Structure 1
Amino acid sequence: METISFGTDGWRATLEEFTEPRVRMVGQAVATYLQDEGRDGPVAIGYDARETSRGFAEELTRVLCANGFDVLLPERDRPTPLFAHAIVERDLAGALVVTASHNPPEYNGVKFIPEDGAPALPDVMDAIEDRLAEPEALPADEQGTAEEVDFVEPHADAALELVEETTGSADLHGLTVAYDAMHGSGRGTTDAILERAGADVDCLRCDQDPDFGGGAPEPAPRNLEELAERVTDDAADVDLGVANDGDADRLAVVTPERGYLDENLFFAALYDYLLENDSGPVVRTVSTTFLIDRVAAAHDEDVHEVPVGFKWVAKAIADHDALIGGEESGGFTIRGHVREKDGVLLSVLAAAMHAEEPIDDRVDRLLDEHGTVVQDKISVACPDHEKARVIDDLEDEIPDDVAGTPVENVNTADGFKLQLEDGSWLLVRPSGTEPKLRVYAEATDEERVEELLEAGEELVEPLVDG
């Protein structure tokens, strides 16, 4: 039980630790939690494209059925957001998804999504962790059953309807979109919904490969070079590129002029686009650009800053009836949808935005109006058991200035965010999914960002080594 620890988005571990007996214990903990909460409806169990995921999903299914729950399964690996949507659409008790998201193939994981379709908050995960136990079984005549159902079409129906309601049109005829599934669960789902909306889709890495081509299914610039070449090549006649991570809850966008589009710039552009037809505040994490704040201020809207982790974004969306919520890692959702990040829905929304006006043009206009913003991040290796100590020690080491600029304010919502007098900032926080500390910086040019990141690294590394 001590090996099972729930982080930002469920439990992830290498396959040395992520074993069938431990997965069954998680299944029993969820079953007990649902019973204690009086939730007796069916449970969806999904899984990603990893070689071991189907087997782990079947183990969870056996445990949940043995505890009296009916289980709904997909016919193959499918994106995580489909199961979040199914919870609300079908009035399910919750869902379990076997996925390690963007982690390398030697990892796997399991996340629990409660009855509202939003990420589970810490009190829920603590309650499940407290109930970890060896599986139990009811008498055979009291056990549940498992069946395969279609999760794809109901989600696509809802997504296309929402895009049309939100933007005025979900018609993508005449648009050519290059889609990179990164061998993940978005293949056959994201490309299918884009085609259904009328787009011509050029697929990359849409074949199944449990090893993800030998890398991690993370839609970062270094992993999307072929997609960027395809979109920026005038001869290819591609209008836009989109990519999903391994379980397709995140989105990356590639444009003809910029290539890989920084997620912060996409977020700002999308919020600006949505405000053309609607109104409402925005929710962003502490690691997300202040450009969002400038867009909001131009429309007299509020900004709600939350710690990193989509669970906090989802909670704030509900608390403030936000128009959109997101994070700099490419996770977003919008009003009217389930409060879980959804890279499938956002792929259609990004294409609809681009069909109306090239995204590059919108970004150019925003930067002309609000000023240039550059952001980057690095990671510093730090064992999980040392993270809390390092962050505690950092409190006594906060400098008066960073890279020559005085610190104006210190935000402790998630780690330490040092806001500097020139409007730039430096953030140090522990990763919730990997044995690392994240160091983020934002400024008006790349050189300044590099200086800030170097200063952050010099600040943190001695504390890790100490």
Structure 2
Amino acid sequence: MTVHHHAGKPARPEDRINIGRLVSDYFLKIPNTDIPEQRVSFGTSGHRGCATKTSFNEQHIVAICQAVAEHRKAQGYTGPLFLGKDTHALSEPAFASAISVLIANGVNVVIQSDEGFTPTPVISRLIIEHNRNNKEQADGLIITPSHNPPTDGGIKYNPPHGGPAEGDVTKLIEQRANDLMAANLVDVNTVDFEQALQSPLLSKQDFIEFYVDQLDQVVDMQAIAKAGVTIGVDPLGGSGINYWPVIAKKYGLNIEIVNPVVDASFAFMPLDKDGKIRMDCSSPYAMAGLIAMKDDFDVAVGNDPDFDRHGIVTKSGGLMNPNHYLAVAINYLMTHRSWPETTKIGKTLVSSSLVDRVAEHINRPLSEVPVGFKWFVDGLFDSSYAFGGEESAGASFIARDGSCWTTDKDGFIMALLAAEILAVTGKDPHQHYKHLAEQLGEPCYGRVEAVANSEQKKVLTALSADAITADTLAGEKIVNILSHAPGNNAAIGGIKVTTENGWFAARPSGTEEIYKIYAESFIDDAHLQTIIKEAQEIVSAAFKAAGI
């Protein structure tokens, strides 16, 4: 993909959104369920869309919330539902819509005390802590499209385990929501929003105090404070912005928020690679502002709007590749925590094989699962997984005593861990990465997209290892062909091919007419490019063999 000529530069007037028009479209545009793009569709992170494109509107939200209310009743969940929202423009009206429906359905809803913003990991922590001490099971909804552009909205459901809902659950919610919309919402219960705010079913809690007070259970805050680590924080205008000052005060940390602005247009953001505003804390273009300040702090961190992702900036290396930081975090945690040696390291199959090499080097069990954080939920919940992480800068890990912390991605603890690593070892995460690369090999990682129609995507989704006839990849013998993840034997919805020094994985997009190739080489970039080229040839051969 060609880098936009304005990538990494400040947003221009023409890049900014019309928030008034967007919110009007949320209420006024009516989805047509006969059009696939206008239906409720749950991906790996809930339902997302844009009001102007009629893919995230009031009808979507009220139908989804009605479906969730019915689901929790059918499952016997009688505890509270914790409701959070991020700072996107559409999150505010969707928050009101959700409350109106949930209260009308007799659901006990708990929101932030000042009706403010709530990060994803906080909702997960609230659910887990409530359910640990109560028989009446709680669950949650988070209104967020994650790092997506300002025009987008999103909503995701976390059941009583506190993590992303399983596919069978989201499929039921999705189907019921679409049926409700097709029937003109006649079975959706609602009350006036002002009436809902006065309902005894709605309660408020200081989520900030709840979450911050427990952070030392998972990160060594005392070590960070004692070492005097200076931390620069760019919340990227996200939902955790009011948490950082409280963290700094409670634990005596030297934290400076370099950008305290909340603006639903996110007009303060540098443009991303494609010239769009996108709050992607793993993108060097979106993080250009914080990267420019790298020498001002011992370590600097950024998060996306719902704070389930992290970006780590060091003096020695700038913005870290998410895969590199995953390997460093895993290596540090497994050698600096007194966790049972049987606890597993969880990684998605498209994450760097440097993680595999770290696991082997420190003699810890590795579990490789399909793409999606939902595959880590059970392991983090019962602490059989010490860590779960994915290549898109999302991860979480268990508490210092080995108990469950969150079952969803937690950008706070991954950011604070970078400061702990520096405080305890005297070296920043990038310096640790360089040491690992010297010991275990320097990875070259890439991701590309290729055109695929719906029939080809179906073939790729169901592709078996036997369908791959090639026996070499980029000059090396193929040692493994996977259609199911070795960690849990779940279908990966594509294929992964590995050699001694490289691999590729091919998966279809759930929303676009493309498939994605992830690849890595431990030889050099030229070898990586050969892997990518031959990966496309292997996939094309599979399409041809299927007659399409």
Does the residue aligned with 2:225 lie in a helix, a strand or coil?
coil
Tell me the residue number matched to 1:58: 96
For 1:367, the equivalent position in structure 2 comes to 437
Which moves more between the two structures, 455-464 or 241-250?
A: 455-464
Take 2:448 and 2:189, find their aligned partners in 1: how far apart are those partners?
47
Instruction: Give the conservation status (yes or no) of the 8 Å contact 1:313–1:325.
Output: yes
1:306 to 1:433, Cα distance in 2 relative to 1, 3 A: farther
For 2:48, the equivalent position in structure 1 comes to: 12
Counterpart amino acid of 2:120? T
Pairwise CA distance, 1:430: 2.9
Contact 2:50–2:56, Cα closer than 8 Å, also in 1: yes
Distance change in 2, residues 1:125/1:154 (3 Å): same
Query: Paired residue for 1:240, among 295, 299, 304?
Result: 299
2:206 maps to 150
Deviation at 1:385, TM superposition (A): 8.3
Distance 1:461 1:222, change over 3 A: farther
Q: 1:144 and 1:137, CA in 2 relative to 1: closer, same or farther beyond 3 A?
A: farther
Q: Which amino acid aligns with 2:101?
A: V
Cα distance in 2 for residues equivalent to 1:144 and 1:69: 10
Counterpart residue number, 2:16: none
- Rate the CA distance shift 1:381–1:198 in 2: closer, same or farther, 3 A: farther
| Aligned twin of 1:79 | 119
Does residue 247 of structure 2 align to residue 193 of structure 1? Answer: yes
Give, as a single letter, the amino acid of the residue that structure 2 aligns with 1:159: L
Q: Which residue of 1 aligns with 2:362?
A: 299
Aligned partner of 1:304: which letter?
A: S
Aligned length: 458
Per-residue Cα deviation, 1:211-234 (whole angstroms, up to 9, x for no partner): 223601111122112222211x3x
Bigger shift: 398-407 or 320-329?
398-407
Instruction: Answer whether contact 2:66 2:189 (CA < 8 A) is retained.
Output: no
Match in the other structure for 1:68: 106
| Cα shift readout 1:279-319 (whole Å, capped 9, x = no counterpart) | 43201110112222222222221101100100002234346
Distance 1:385 1:146 in 2: 47
**Structure 1 residues 20 and 383 mapped into 2: Cα distance closer, same or farther (>3 Å)?**
farther
- CA distance 1:416–1:19, change in 2 (3 Å): same
Unaligned runs of 5+ in 1: none
1:448 maps to what in 2? Answer: 527
In the other structure, the counterpart of 2:479 is 408
2:412 is equivalent to residue 344 of structure 1: yes
Cα distance, 1:68–1:286 mapped onto 2, change above 3 Å:
same
Mapped contact 2:496–2:505 kept (Cα < 8 A): yes
Which letter does structure 2 place at the counterpart of 1:411?
Answer: L
* Contact residue 98 and residue 109 of structure 1 kept, 8 A: yes
Deviations 1:436-458 (A, max 9, x none): 53211111233322332344456
Aligned partner letter, 1:207: V
Instruction: Choose the corresponding residue for 2:286, options 207, 213, 223.
Output: 223
Distance in 1 separating the partners of 2:253 and 2:537: 48
Three-state SS of the structure 2 residue aligned to 1:378 is strand
More displaced 10-residue stretch of structure 1: 98-107 or 355-364? 355-364
| Corresponding position: 1:288 with 2:328 | no
Kindly tell me: are residues 139 and 314 of structure 1, through their superposed partners in 2, closer, same or farther at Cα, counting changes over 3 Å? closer
Distance (Å, rounded) in 1 between the aligned partners of 2:380 and 2:347: 10
Q: Which amino acid aligns with 1:270?
A: A
Q: What is the CA distance between 1:197 and its match in structure 2?
A: 3.1
Alignment partners' CA distance in 1, 2:241 and 2:507 = 33
Is 1:376 aligned with 2:477? no
Of stretches 396-405 and 209-218 in structure 1, the one that deviates more from structure 2 is 396-405
Matched to 1:101, the amino acid is S
Instruction: Report which stretch shifted further, 51-60 or 270-279.
Output: 270-279
Q: Deviations over 1:137-196 (max 9, x none)?
A: 4999997632332111111112223213xx874536521112122222232224642554
User: Could you tell me which amino acid in structure 2 is paired with residue 453 of structure 1?
Assistant: I
Give the 5 Å matches for 1:232-271: 233=295, 236=296, 238-271=297-330
Residues 120 and 408 in structure 2, CA contact (< 8 A), matched pair in contact too: no
CA contact (8 A) 2:101 2:190 kept: no
Query: Partner residue of 2:504?
Result: 426
Q: Counterparts of 1:383 and 1:48 in 2: how far apart (Å)?
A: 34
Mark the CA change 1:306 to 1:191 in structure 2 (over 3 Å): closer, same or farther: farther
Tell me the distance in 1 between the aligned counterparts of 2:202 and 2:451. 42
In 2 relative to 1, CA 385–128 (structure 1 residues): closer, same or farther, beyond 3 Å? farther
Q: For the Cα contact (< 8 Å) 1:283–1:326, is it kept in 2?
A: yes
Structure 2 alignment gaps of length 5 or more: 1-32, 132-136, 268-275, 400-404, 485-491
Distance 1:77 1:409 in 2: 45
Q: Which one of the candidate residues 515, 525, 528 is aligned to 1:437?
A: 515
Pair 1:309–1:433, CA change in 2 (3 A): farther
Q: 1:161 aligns with which of 205, 213, 217?
A: 217
Q: Does 1:88 align with 2:128?
A: yes
Moved more, 120-129 or 100-109: 120-129
Quote how far apart the aligned CAs of 1:30 are. 0.2
Aligned to 2:256: 202
- Provide the C-alpha distance between the structure 2 equivalents of 1:328 and 1:374, rounded to a whole number of angstroms: 13
CA distance in 2, matches of 1:161, 1:145: 31
1:239 positional shift? 0.6
Name the CA shift for 1:256/1:101 in 2 (closer, same or farther; >3 Å).
Answer: same
Q: Given that residues 194 and 348 in structure 1 are in contact (C-alpha distance below 8 angstroms), is that contact kept between their aligned partners in structure 2?
A: no
Q: Are 1:281 and 1:296, in contact at CA under 8 Å, matched by a contact in 2?
A: no
Q: What does residue 37 of structure 1 align with?
A: 75
Report how far residue 10 of structure 1 moved. Answer: 1.1
Moved more, 58-67 or 266-275: 266-275
Q: Kindly tell me: are residues 217 and 432 of structure 1, through their superposed partners in 2, closer, same or farther at Cα, counting changes over 3 Å?
A: farther
CA distance in 2, matches of 1:290, 1:56: 40
Q: Are the equivalent residues in 2 in contact too, given 1:100–1:109 (CA < 8 A)?
A: yes
Kept in 2: contact 1:242–1:347 (CA 8 A): yes
TM-score (norm 2): 0.77
Which range is displaced more, 384-393 or 108-117?
Answer: 384-393
Max Rg structure: 2
C-alpha offsets along residues 395-454 of structure 1, whole Å, 9 cap, x if unaligned?
Answer: 74664333333322111132211102x321011113457665321111123332233234
Which residue identity is paired with 1:215?
Answer: I
* TM-score where L is the length of structure 1: 0.89
Aligned mates of 1:374, 1:286 — CA distance in 2: 16
Q: Is the alpha carbon distance of 1:419 and 1:278 closer, same or farther for their aligned partners in structure 2, counting shifts above 3 Å?
A: same
What is the CA–CA distance in structure 2 between the aligned matches of 1:149 and 1:383, rounded to whole Å? 48
Higher mean alpha-carbon deviation, 53-62 vs 208-217, is at 208-217
Whether contact under 8 Å (1:173, 1:198) holds in the other structure is no
